Amino acid sequence: GLLHCVKSMLKVAEKTNIVLVGLPYRHDKPSLNDLISSLNTQIQNLVSSLKTITFLSLIPIRGPSYYSRMGLHFNLTGKRVFVQLLFKSIQEVLELGFSTSSVATHVGTQDALHSTQCQVVSQPLPTPVSISGQNSCLPSANSPQLASHDSDTLPLPRIPSRTDKPFLEKSAANEMVT
């Protein structure tokens, strides 16, 4: 089952820092929430002694106000809080250089609820790492993207849409091939 999959993944990635996200609750099928809670506890116990794993609990966003009307997927508020929790967990791993096997369970949810921007990490960003001769996509501390901002926040990236010109051109090219 699920625990076997988690154990297998941990064996393969034992020297890799991982933020393992707990299972979200289900408001469309609340009868599953006891099972979900039990599985999250088992997974948390499984990884609690491992230095390279941080378990990210989704308990702070278990209420129905964080989910869509259907109760399965996060709504915008739930997504914002989830991103804040994930960002905080990743930031802690990067600052410490390794995971603390902590359970990340809280973040300034009020900030997450009202913010449409990401905060810039106050620590210097790591230098891009060469991967197969290519630079990492992480910006360096001297990056022009970061240098051009006067405030302590950056706008959220824009997600491409189906109406974007490159997407339409690519779709048209794919239709011509098939």
Question: Pick from 89, 115, 141: which residue ends a domain?
Answer: 115
Q: Are 43 and 55 in contact (CB under 8 A)?
A: yes
Region of poorest pLDDT, from 11-15, 117-121, 145-149, 167-171 = 117-121
**pLDDT band at residue 145 using 50, 70 and 90 as cut-offs:** very low
19 & 97 share domain: yes
Same domain? For 142 and 110 the reply is no
**One domain for residues 156 and 75:** no
Q: Are residues 132 and 100 in the same domain?
A: no
Which has more confidence, 153 or 161? 161
The model's pLDDT over 56-105, given as tens digits with 9 standing for 90+, comes to: 999 999 899 999 999 999 999 999 999 999 999 999 888 876 544 444 44
Whether residues 129 and 93 fall in one domain = no
Q: Which of 21, 53, 62, 18 is nearest to 40 (CA)?
A: 21
Q: Are residues 86 and 44 in the same domain?
A: yes
Single pTM value for the model:
0.54
- Do 33 and 78 lie in one domain? The reply is yes
Do 47 and 10 fall into the same domain?
Answer: yes
- Residue 159's domain spans which residues? 124-178
SS3 content of the chain, % helix, strand, coil (to 5): 45, 10, 45
Domain count, the chain: 2
Distinct helix (H) and strand (E) counts, the chain: 6, 7
User: pLDDT at residue 13 above 50?
Assistant: yes
Same domain membership, residue 84 and residue 58: yes
53 and 15 within one domain: yes
| Whether residue 16 is found in the same domain as residue 46 | yes
Return mean pLDDT, the chain: 69
